[in-house]
């Protein structure tokens, strides 16, 4: 008979959830492939990448639409690997499935809302909460879950709020049922599924499960039999999924040198974000009592707010703890709450934010998870369920109990609906990834004969996120870069990826460097077909403009221009030109040691060959120093420099990934009398545009203001990646309009610190 | 007996659910009004056409562009776009754009942005653009949004045409996609 009640209750809950979804998202539900949840943040690229993979990728586990010619492992593309692989397999039977990509994602998101309420209902039932409370508790907790706010940023896989409740309901089954091996295997499969859907979802379920085990072990620390028995379940539920995930991701990923993420605090949660609303109509009330905002923490716009009714119930519980503490002992609630608090502390960045980042070195894989605030949702679910549990179990009068459940759920639902009103403002029609919806001015881009080209390059060029080189992203280039791959299947060299290989990113960025430098990417291209260039007509950096000048214009419109460039034009280098130039100037230029100058002006050169260093650009040495050591690189008196002339100081800066990033190089004119800098010039060396293998050319143009001053070249490094060395080679100072040559060997000429081999 | 109890339960639950949902839809509609205008139409632009000459003696630009927030926007501000035109002698200057929100000469909010990466050429006027994310902060009336340049390297340069306009990424991208931009 109970089962009957349960089924009716579940049916009513499903109707409530569906009517909620229809109320807020009815238009999308009617025609899911015609709307997009958002155009901003990662939304367009996450829709587009999903679509490209289904329509054009030949490989199951590699995404080749961006970051050409390297592509990216499916596990780093934010397109729900487990789910997209299922669709990909279906696409072999139904080839047109890719056309419905946006609709598929939208449907998943909306079904997730209903699914979350259903899974929560089972959590309540498993905790022996009455069906009445279970229905309204599950519904209101689903509505107040702030996962939905991530839709604004295109984080589709993170909006699936049912991951944590599902992990919980499986844990309850494991603890209560007899067939523990079976439930352990189911939990392991569930954790793996979420890892293969989104790393954060996987780690959330894993952390919660592991924390529950930790407190079970602690509670039964003296019971050796129990510990021995539970250890094997721990291995199945925690160790096996981690190993399997690690093995699959490692063996399917052939991209080395991804960023080893530093600990960042922007996306950690805080107790303020748990107990105060960011959107609810109660926000003014809360903020009239206390200013809960923490401007330096971006996570505040999402938060993990548990609702005013939960707060009131928990406060009452605390005040009546002695009388109500028996509730904690029921259904293992004490363990779940402690486990969720432990995960909550991690989401607050504890203990790492207290200058204990080095602890992350012991579990390097954890470093990849920087959005720690997302783990606070475990606490959100446990504490809100507990608040309904308290009402259900502590109030004996049925009518009062029903009334309080309804009131609590009503307030919670009203508060939570603010999220859905907000998100519904971001929903847009049309689905711009459908060919028929592209703005007419861009329509011709879809008619490009892609068979003529191997890839497209969008200018301004960018490799966004996890890449330290020249950042030229604009919204227009970001949008247009997704058009040609999505509509034609032609891959692009540009990329918006969270953890791309830094080495591969450098090789791609090096395409824009002058051709005398060997471009390592040349042999990585699988074809010698030309490249299509899509230029947004926005401001370009110097090397991009030089690159564009070499391209052949195909079409010019008010909004964009299309060019093409031959494969060889990108790489061709005629060494005879520099050799002829050098031979021509040799006789007429002034000679100082090995150098030929067009004028007898100030000249300084240091190749650091007197230093014993393992990392060298040219010669036998370079300057190397720890990033945080005394920051002086070079110190010169200004008395030999002329006040009215402009000088050029250049050098080569070594880099491996991010190890030499987060460093500013400063050129300062120091006034000894005032003990202050009269002038300071700064640059981020990794944002310089000319790349020669692992070295980057950096230059300053400067003038001095006082001949008694001292010129200092310094580095200032932040604490990120600070336990690395920086290397600098070949510092050269010349007048800006004076040419300086040197023939360093039979096959190497230097011109103004640029290197030419022949 | 059991059947009767279940019937009661079903009736109670169904009636509660219906009333709950109806009240919720009515109440939520009254409390939260979906206001697309908030995103799309409450925009503003302030433009200052004066030319400011800055040299080694000026640590800050003398033209402070400012706007009283109550005159344009009393609700959340997602971000603002600051445009200006700059002419410099050298690329390697340390020039920062500062935006601050002040009230009674006290800074409520302060941010600075390095602009040197945007300076590509020397000796000619170049447009500088900086999006300032205000994270949908709610600013009260009488607050003043101010922007100025911080000449940290004490270099010489010229600045003109400083403008501040409300900026919304969604609006901007929608304009590109729907071809209004």
A653: pLDDT confidence band, cut at 50, 70 and 90?
A: very high
A283 in B contact zone (CB under 8 Å): no
A687 in B contact zone (CB under 8 Å): yes
Residue B158's φ and ψ, nearest 5 degrees, are -115, 145
Cβ-defined contact of B120 to A406 (cutoff 8 Å): no
Cβ-defined contact of A702 to B90 (cutoff 8 Å): yes
**Residues A574, A580, A582, A585, CA torsion sign:** negative
Residue A489's φ and ψ, nearest 5 degrees, are 90, -5
Mean pLDDT of B23-49: 61
The residue among B1, B8, B13, B18 with the most chain A CBs within 10 A of its CB, best to mutate, is: B13
The residue among B177, B178, B181 with the most chain A CBs within 10 A of its CB, best to mutate, is: B177
Cβ-defined contact of B176 to A476 (cutoff 8 Å): yes
Q: Quick one: tokens of A222?
A: 């003296």
A661: pLDDT confidence band, cut at 50, 70 and 90?
A: confident
pLDDT at B80: 78
B36: pLDDT confidence band, cut at 50, 70 and 90?
A: very low
Residues of A whose CB is below 8 A from B57: none
A271 in B contact zone (CB under 8 Å): no
B93: pLDDT confidence band, cut at 50, 70 and 90?
A: confident
A23 in B contact zone (CB under 8 Å): yes
Residue of higher predicted confidence among A383 and A541: A383
Q: Report which DSSP code applies to A263.
A: P
pLDDT at B1: 39
Mean pLDDT of A736-749: 92
Cβ-nearest to B13 among A135, A417, A432: A135
The residue among A21, A152, A280, A475 with the most chain B CBs within 10 A of its CB, best to mutate, is: A475
Mean pLDDT of A564-569: 96
Cβ-defined contact of A1 to B2 (cutoff 8 Å): yes
Distance from CA of B44 to the nearest CA of A (A): 21
Residues of A whose CB is below 8 A from B6: 1, 4-5, 8
A439 in B contact zone (CB under 8 Å): yes
A264: pLDDT confidence band, cut at 50, 70 and 90?
A: confident
Cβ-defined contact of A681 to B120 (cutoff 8 Å): no
**Residues A96, A100, A104, A107, CA torsion sign:** negative
Residue A498's φ and ψ, nearest 5 degrees, are -85, -35
A678 in B contact zone (CB under 8 Å): yes
Distance from CA of A571 to the nearest CA of B (A): 25
Cβ-defined contact of A680 to B17 (cutoff 8 Å): no
Residue of A nearest to B110 (CA): A295
Mean pLDDT of A361-376: 86
Q: Give the whole-angstrom CA distance, residue B127 versus residue B113.
A: 15
Query: For residue A632, how many other CB atoms are within 10 A of its CB?
Result: 11
Cβ-defined contact of A425 to B176 (cutoff 8 Å): no
pLDDT at B72: 47
Q: Quickly list DSSP for A51-110.
A: HHHHHT--SSSEE-SSSTTT-EEGGGTTS-HHHHHHHHHHHTT-GGGGGGHHHHHHHHHH
Cβ-nearest to A479 among B36, B91, B177: B177
Residues of B whose CB is below 8 A from A646: 89-90
| A41 close to A157: Cβ distance less than 8 angstroms | no
pLDDT at B43: 47
Share of chain A above pLDDT 70, in %: 100
pLDDT at A340: 97
Assess whether pLDDT exceeds 60 at residue A455. yes
The residue among A17, A418, A421 with the most chain B CBs within 10 A of its CB, best to mutate, is: A421
pLDDT at B3: 43
Non-local CB neighbours of A148 within 8 Å, separated by 6+ positions = A113, A159, A161, A419, A420, A423
B64: pLDDT confidence band, cut at 50, 70 and 90?
A: low
B35: pLDDT confidence band, cut at 50, 70 and 90?
A: very low
Assess whether pLDDT exceeds 90 at residue A636. yes
| A679 close to B59: Cβ distance less than 8 angstroms | no
Mean pLDDT of A296-321: 94
Assess whether pLDDT exceeds 50 at residue B73. no
Residues of A whose CB is below 8 A from B39: 425
Residues of A whose CB is below 8 A from B169: 40-41, 475
Q: A456-473: per-residue pLDDT in tens?
A: 999 999 998 878 887 788
Cβ-defined contact of B176 to A432 (cutoff 8 Å): no
Q: Give the whole-angstrom CA distance, residue A681 versus residue A679.
A: 7
Cβ-defined contact of B21 to A16 (cutoff 8 Å): yes
Q: Give the whole-angstrom CA distance, residue A746 versus residue A575.
A: 13
Cβ-defined contact of B152 to A680 (cutoff 8 Å): yes
Assess whether pLDDT exceeds 50 at residue A330. yes
Interface list for A 527-556 with B (CB within 8 A)? 539, 541-542
Mean pLDDT of B64-69: 54
Assess whether pLDDT exceeds 70 at residue A437. yes
pLDDT at B179: 64
pLDDT at A479: 83
Cβ-defined contact of B32 to A678 (cutoff 8 Å): no
pLDDT at A603: 92
Cβ-defined contact of A681 to B94 (cutoff 8 Å): yes
Residue B19's φ and ψ, nearest 5 degrees, are -60, -45
Q: A514-534: per-residue pLDDT in tens?
A: 999 999 999 999 899 999 999
pLDDT at B2: 41
pLDDT at A258: 84
A51-60, A417-426, A433-442: least confidently modelled range: A433-442
pLDDT at B145: 73
In this structure, are strands A561-565 and A531-535 parallel, antiparallel, or unpaired? antiparallel
Which of A53-62, A106-115, A631-640 is predicted most confidently?
A: A106-115
pLDDT at A4: 74
Mean pLDDT of B50-77: 58
Cβ-nearest to B173 among A298, A417, A479: A479
pLDDT at A430: 86
ipTM of the complex: 0.81
A257 in B contact zone (CB under 8 Å): no
Mean pLDDT of A553-560: 90
In this structure, are strands A495-496 and A463-464 parallel, antiparallel, or unpaired? parallel
pLDDT at B42: 40
Mean pLDDT of B21-34: 85
In the predicted model, what is the mean pLDDT of chain A?
A: 91
Residue of higher predicted confidence among B98 and A340: A340
pLDDT at A343: 97
Q: Give the whole-angstrom CA distance, residue A250 versus residue A73.
A: 10
Q: Give the whole-angstrom CA distance, residue A94 versus residue A100.
A: 11
pLDDT at A428: 83
Cβ-defined contact of A15 to B152 (cutoff 8 Å): no
Assess whether pLDDT exceeds 50 at residue A420. yes
Cβ-nearest to A19 among B21, B27, B127: B21
A700 in B contact zone (CB under 8 Å): yes
Assess whether pLDDT exceeds 90 at residue A82. yes
Assess whether pLDDT exceeds 80 at residue A644. yes
pLDDT at A742: 94
Share of chain A above pLDDT 90, in %: 70
Distance from CA of A251 to the nearest CA of B (A): 38
Assess whether pLDDT exceeds 90 at residue A713. yes
Q: A602-629: per-residue pLDDT in tens?
A: 999 999 999 988 899 998 999 998 888 8
Residues of B whose CB is below 8 A from A432: 177
A457 in B contact zone (CB under 8 Å): no
B55: pLDDT confidence band, cut at 50, 70 and 90?
A: low
pLDDT at A89: 95
Distance from CA of B145 to the nearest CA of A (A): 17
Mean pLDDT of A340-348: 97
Cβ-defined contact of A428 to B12 (cutoff 8 Å): no
Assess whether pLDDT exceeds 60 at residue B68. no
Cβ-defined contact of A418 to B32 (cutoff 8 Å): yes
Residue of higher predicted confidence among A444 and A88: A88
Number of CB pairs, chain A paired with chain B, less than 8 A apart: 143
């Amino acid at each position: 008979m109970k089962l009957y009640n349960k089924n009716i209750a579940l049916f009513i809950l499903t109707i409530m959830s569906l009517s909620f979804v229809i109320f807020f998202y009815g238009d999308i539900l009617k025609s899911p492939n015609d709307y997009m949840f958002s155009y901003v943040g990662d939304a367009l690229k996450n829709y587009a990448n999903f679509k490209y993979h289904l329509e054009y990728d030949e490989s199951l586990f590699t995404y080749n639409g961006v970051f050409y010619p390297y592509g990216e492992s499916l596990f780093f593309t934010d397109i729900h690997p487990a789910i997209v692989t299922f669709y990909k397999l279906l696409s072999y039977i139904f080839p047109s499935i890719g056309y419905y990509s946006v609709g598929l994602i939208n449907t998943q998101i909306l079904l997730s809302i209903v699914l979350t309420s259903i899974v929560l209902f089972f959590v309540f039932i498993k905790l022996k909460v009455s069906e009445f409370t279970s229905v309204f508790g599950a519904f209101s907790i689903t509505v107040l879950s702030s996962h939905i706010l991530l839709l604004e940023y295109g984080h589709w896989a993170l909006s699936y709020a049912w991951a944590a409740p599902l992990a919980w309901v499986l844990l309850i089954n494991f603890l209560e049922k007899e067939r523990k091996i079976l439930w352990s295997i189911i939990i392991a499969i569930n954790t793996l599924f979420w890892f293969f859907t989104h790393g954060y979802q996987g780690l959330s379920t894993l952390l919660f499960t592991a924390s529950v085990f930790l407190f079970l072990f602690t509670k039964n620390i003296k019971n050796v039999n129990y510990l021995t028995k539970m250890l094997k379940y721990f291995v199945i539920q925690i160790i096996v999924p981690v190993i399997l995930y690690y093995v699959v991701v490692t063996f399917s990923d052939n991209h080395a040198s991804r960023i080893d993420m530093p600990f960042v605090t922007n996306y950690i949660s805080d107790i303020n974000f748990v107990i105060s609303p960011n959107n609810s109509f109660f926000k003014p009330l809360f903020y009239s009592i206390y200013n809960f905002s923490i401007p330096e923490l971006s996570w505040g716009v999402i938060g993990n707010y548990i609702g005013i009714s939960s707060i009131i119930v928990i406060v009452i519980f605390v005040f009546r703890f002695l009388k109500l503490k028996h509730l904690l002992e029921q259904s293992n609630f004490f363990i779940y709450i402690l486990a969720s608090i432990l995960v909550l502390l991690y989401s607050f960045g504890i203990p790492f934010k207290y200058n204990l980042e080095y602890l992350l070195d012991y579990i390097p894989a954890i470093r990849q998870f920087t959005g720690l605030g997302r783990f606070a949702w475990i606490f959100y679910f446990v504490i809100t369920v507990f608040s309904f549990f308290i009402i259900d179990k502590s109030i004996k009068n049925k009518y009062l109990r029903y009334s309080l459940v309804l009131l609590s759920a009503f307030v919670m639902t009203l508060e939570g609906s603010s999220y859905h009103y907000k998100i519904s403002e971001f929903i847009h029609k049309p689905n711009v990834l459908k060919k028929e919806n592209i703005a007419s001015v861009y329509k011709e881009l879809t008619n490009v004969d892609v068979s003529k080209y191997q890839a497209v390059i969008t200018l301004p060029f960018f490799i966004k996120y996890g890449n330290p080189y020249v950042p030229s992203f604009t919204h227009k280039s970001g949008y247009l870069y997704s058009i040609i791959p999505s509509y034609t299947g032609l891959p692009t060299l540009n990329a918006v990826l969270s953890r791309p290989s830094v080495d591969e990113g450098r090789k791609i960025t090096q395409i824009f460097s002058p051709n005398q430098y060997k471009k390592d990417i040349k042999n990585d291209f699988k074809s010698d077909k030309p490249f299509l260039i899509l230029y947004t007509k926005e401001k370009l950096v110097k090397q991009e403009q030089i690159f564009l000048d070499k391209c052949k214009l195909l079409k010019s419109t008010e909004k964009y221009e299309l060019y093409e460039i031959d494969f060889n034009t990108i790489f061709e280098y005629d060494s005879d030109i520099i050799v002829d130039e050098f031979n021509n100037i040799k006789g007429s230029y002034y000679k100082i040691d090995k150098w030929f100058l067009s004028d007898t002006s100030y000249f300084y050169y240091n190749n650091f060959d007197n230093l014993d260093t393992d990392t060298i650009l040219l010669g036998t040495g370079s300057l190397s120093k720890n990033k945080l050591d005394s920051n002086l690189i070079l110190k010169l008196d200004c008395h030999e420099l002329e006040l009215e002339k402009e000088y050029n100081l250049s050098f080569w800066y070594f880099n491996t990934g991010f190890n030499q990033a987060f460093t500013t190089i400063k050129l300062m004119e120091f006034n000894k009398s005032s003990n202050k800098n009269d002038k300071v010039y700064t640059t981020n060396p990794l944002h310089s545009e000319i790349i020669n293998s692992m070295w980057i050319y950096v230059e300053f143009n400067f003038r001095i203001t006082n001949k008694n001053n001292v010129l200092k070249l310094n580095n200032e490094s932040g604490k990120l990646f600070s336990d690395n060395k920086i290397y600098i080679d070949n510092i050269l100072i010349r007048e800006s309009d004076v040419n300086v040559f040197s023939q360093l060997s039979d096959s190497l000429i230097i011109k103004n610190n640029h290197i030419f081999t022949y | 007996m059991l059947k009767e109890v279940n019937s009661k339960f079903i009736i109670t639950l169904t009636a509660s659910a219906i009333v709950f949902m109806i009240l919720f839809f009515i109440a939520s509609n009254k409390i939260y009004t979906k206001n697309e205008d908030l995103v799309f139409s409450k925009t503003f632009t302030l433009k200052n056409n004066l030319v400011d000459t800055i040299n080694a003696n000026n640590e800050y630009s003398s033209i402070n562009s400012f706007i009283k927030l109550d005159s344009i926007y009393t609700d959340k501000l997602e971000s603002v776009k600051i445009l200006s035109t700059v002419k410099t002698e050298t690329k390697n200057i340390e020039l920062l754009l500062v935006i601050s929100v002040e009230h009674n000469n006290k800074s409520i909010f302060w941010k600075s942005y390095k602009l040197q990466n945007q300076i590509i050429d020397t000796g000619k006027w170049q447009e500088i653009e900086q999006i300032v994310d205000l994270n949908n902060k709610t600013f009260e009336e009488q607050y003043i949004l101010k922007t100025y340049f911080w000449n940290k390297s004490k270099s010489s340069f010229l600045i003109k045409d400083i403008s501040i306009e409300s900026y919304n990424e969604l609006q901007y991208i929608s304009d590109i996609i729907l071809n209004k931009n």
